Chains A and B, each alone.
Chain A
Amino acid sequence: MTSQAFFLQPPRIAVWLVNQFTPPEESESILGDLLEEFSQLASTSGVAVARGWYWRQTVKTIVHLAGSGFRVAPWSTTFGIVAGLLLLRFVSGLPDKVLSALTDRYLAYWSTHFKAYMFWATDGMLIGHLIGSMLVGCMVALAAKGREMVAATTLGLIHGAMIGAALVWVAGHGPMDVRWMLWSCADPLAIVVGGAVIRWRRSAGASLPSHT
Chain B
Amino acid sequence: MSGRDYLGEFEHIIVLALLRLADQAYGVTVRQEIEFRTSREVSIGAVYATLERLETKGYVKSRRGDPTPERGGRSKRFFRVTAKGMAAVNRTQGALQSMTEGLDFIRSYS
Contacts and interface: CB of A to CB of B under 8 A. Distances in A.
Listed residue (B31, B32, B72, B75) with the most chain A CB atoms within 10 angstroms of its CB: B72
B101 to A, nearest CB: 34
What interface size band does chain A fall in? 20 to 34
B14 to A, nearest CB: 13
Contacts of B76: 29, 32-33
Nearest to B43: A60
Contact of A64 (B31, B46, B64, B72): B46
Interface stretch (A34-42, A74-82, A90-98): A34-42
B71 A32 contact: yes
Given A26-B52, A28-B74, A68-B52, A33 B28 contact: yes
A57 B27 CA distance: 13
Interface of A: 6, 26, 28-37, 39, 56-57, 60-65, 67-68, 71-72
Contact of A29 (B49, B53, B70, B75): B75
Interface string B64-93: 100010111011110000000000000000
B28 A37 contact: yes
Contact of A33 (B44, B46, B64): B44
A31 B75 contact: no
Contacts of B45: 30, 57, 60-65, 68
Contacts of A63: 45
A18 B23 CA distance: 27
Given A32-B74, A32-B76, A35-B74, A64 B28 contact: no
Interface residues of B, number: 23
A26 B27 CA distance: 11
A119 B74 CA distance: 50
28 contacts: A26-B52, A28-B75, A29-B27, A29-B48, A29-B74, A30-B44, A30-B45, A31-B72, A32-B27, A32-B68, A32-B74, A32-B75, A33-B27, A33-B28, A33-B44, A33-B76, A34-B44, A36-B71, A56-B41, A56-B43, A57-B43, A60-B43, A61-B46, A63-B45, A64-B48, A65-B48, A68-B49, A71-B53
Interface of B: 26-28, 31-32, 41, 43-46, 48-49, 52-53, 64, 68, 70-72, 74-77
A53 to B, nearest CB: 10
Given A31-B74, A33-B44, A60-B45, 6 more contacts: A26-B77, A32-B76, A33-B28, A37-B44, A61-B44, A67-B49
Given A35-B71, A65-B48, A68-B52, A29 B43 contact: no
